[in-house]
Structure 1
Amino acid sequence: MNKKIALLFLLRWSQRHRQARQIYIRYAWYHYWAYVLKSSKHVSILSGVGWVNEVLRGNEADVIDNFRMSSRTLHLLVDAIVTTGSLVGGRDVFVQEQVAMFLYFVGDHASSRAIKCRFQRYGETVTRHLHAVMASLVICVQLTSASHNLSRLFIPVLSTIPSSALFSELPYGYRWDPYSSPRAGVRCQSR
């Protein structure tokens, strides 16, 4: 009887030990493929600047499809933003590319992941430049509305949007919901 129990115990112990070893090997294999053997995601020949230049030098219909405006209007918008001094180019991202990112985001309803893939930038870089272009556009609208007496058109719209929605003052995980309360644009709602 004792030999039978000891034999069953050794058999079950070896089966459990073998299963544990297989689980460990599978986990090590997954870890190797997921974290050690990584390939670059940014493999396109054209970076953000190259793609923007290719689109702007190409067919005008492509420019309108991607940026929702003609190349002449895009250049005028970039010049207006630069002359107000509210947006400056960085070491790697030029003003034209920042504005193109914003227009691609707004015009195509693109996600942050799509912009990261298209312009070959990291998510934090994309978000930072989208916020910078939005802030500079608000400044441009305020300056042009004051000089052209268009304040009755733009300022009421901008005054309903809280500054936390225009700039990155919202805590992570919150969004601005203009239809959530009787006083529109006051309350933030968790996702």
Structure 2
Amino acid sequence: MDGAERRRWLILRGASLVVVVTAWMFVRFRRRCLTRPPITYAPMSAREEQRQNNLNYIYQADDTRCVDLLRMKRAPFFQLCDLLRTRELLKDTMHCNVEEQVAIFLHVVGHNQRFRVINLSFRRSFETISRHFQEVLYAVGELRQEMIQLPSTVVHPKIVGSHRWNPYFKDCIGAIDGTHVLARVPRSIRAAFLGRKHTTTQNVLAAVDFDLRFTYILAGWEGSAHDALILNDALEREDGLRVPPSKFYLVDAGYVVRPGFLPPYRATRYHLREFGARVPQIPKELFNLRHSSLRTTVERAFGALQNRFRILDNKPFHPYKTQVKLDLACCILHNWILRFGE
């Protein structure tokens, strides 16, 4: 046997040995699988049953309970879930469908609950809740273009049907104001976020129409920033605030007079409580009184928003970038509820 034949013989012998060893290991593995006792999933099945009962209690029972827990009725809730699923912004997973993901998010923002509390209600791990929360936050933010739009330029029925405002405010399309939302920031930048009440806040600028819908939102500014500075930033942005020609917004005395923005007269009584039992004595006081009564729209919108989503009225447990996104997401959900019913 020469060298080439011997080398070929050794290769065949080695290959045969590998095949025999592999077959022996496979047979041994199969025997172990057949003799191993089956894994029982009874504890997980009980946990899954508890989870389904809890979810049915939240959004399958009645509208009252759904509003209490998720801040909206069942119809707009399921419409929102169907929209996010249709656009593939959210997907059903093997163990968690879109409805449960959205319910987790709404439960957090509606009641300012921590993930460690939510995982007891939904029987989910901390990581699963955190992941779905971020996914739903991103998905809701993708609805910004269609849910936060410029108001109509048609004279609003609220103005047309009132002798106090028509025709003086017939070209008014809404009101603008800023609100301070409690914020949690690192200690290194805390001084810039200290607001008037010596708490860390972010100053959120919003434009609201007379149906209490948000038509523009700019979040993320420090609590110490002046409203006029934030308005300038909103106007200079490429996708910022735009005022239709010959229309205007109502603003408070903290803003300067400029085209498209109408503040009240300064050094003149403004709010109704300042008049007491008296009536306006001069035209400027009458104008300020009617200006104030119409501009309360934006204050009512802020009140409804913060009452519906308690995460905006308490210090959140999220990084600051997430807090800014939550302001926008809550305004989008607020408009969604007003459009499709509470």
Rounded to whole Å, the distance in 2 between the matches of 1:174 and 1:62 is 27
Contact 1:98 1:129 (8 Å CA) reproduced: yes
Rounded to whole Å, the distance in 2 between the matches of 1:95 and 1:45 is 16
Q: Does 1:92 align with 2:236?
A: no
Aligned to 2:62: 59
Report the 3-state secondary structure (helix = DSSP H, G, I; strand = E; otherwise coil) of the residue aligned with 2:145. Answer: helix
Rounded to whole Å, the distance in 2 between the matches of 1:45 and 1:66 is 20
Rounded to whole Å, the distance in 2 between the matches of 1:45 and 1:131 is 23
**Structure 1 residue 110 displacement after superposition:** 1.1
More strand per residue: 2
RMSD: 3.3
Structure 1's unaligned 5+ residue stretches are: 1-39, 162-172, 179-191
Rounded to whole Å, the distance in 1 between the matches of 2:134 and 2:321 is 18
The residue correspondences of 1:95-110 to structure 2 (distance < 5 A) are: 95-110=98-113
Query: Which residue identity lines up with residue 73 of structure 2 in the other structure?
Result: S
Aligned to 2:235: none
Which one has a bigger Cα radius of gyration?
A: 2
Rounded to whole Å, the distance in 2 between the matches of 1:81 and 1:154 is 22
Query: Which residue identity lines up with residue 175 of structure 1 in the other structure?
Result: P
Identity %: 22
Structure 2's unaligned 5+ residue stretches are: 1-42, 152-206, 208-213, 222-316, 323-342
**Structure 1 residue 77 displacement after superposition:** 1.2
Task: Flag the 1:97–1:174 CA change in 2: closer, same or farther, 3 A.
Answer: closer
Aligned to 2:218: 157
Q: Does 1:126 align with 2:129?
A: yes
The residue correspondences of 1:138-157 to structure 2 (distance < 5 A) are: 138-145=141-148, 149=150, 153=214, 156-157=217-218
Contact 2:90 2:136 (8 Å CA) reproduced: yes
CA offsets 1:98-156 (integer angstroms, 9 cap, x no match): 000001111111111111000000000000000000000001223544xx557x75664
Rounded to whole Å, the distance in 1 between the matches of 2:93 and 2:216 is 30
Contact 2:70 2:103 (8 Å CA) reproduced: yes
Task: Flag the 1:89–1:72 CA change in 2: closer, same or farther, 3 A.
Answer: same
Rounded to whole Å, the distance in 2 between the matches of 1:101 and 1:67 is 9
The residue correspondences of 1:19-98 to structure 2 (distance < 5 A) are: 46-98=49-101
Rounded to whole Å, the distance in 2 between the matches of 1:157 and 1:105 is 22
Rounded to whole Å, the distance in 1 between the matches of 2:218 and 2:95 is 34
Q: TM-score, normalising length from structure 2? A: 0.32
Contact 1:60 1:70 (8 Å CA) reproduced: yes
Aligned residues: 125
Aligned to 2:114: 111
User: Relative contact order: is structure 1 or structure 2 higher (C-alpha 8 Å, sep ≥ 6)?
Assistant: 2
Task: Flag the 1:174–1:73 CA change in 2: closer, same or farther, 3 A.
Answer: closer
**Structure 1 residue 44 displacement after superposition:** 5.7
Contact 2:150 2:215 (8 Å CA) reproduced: no
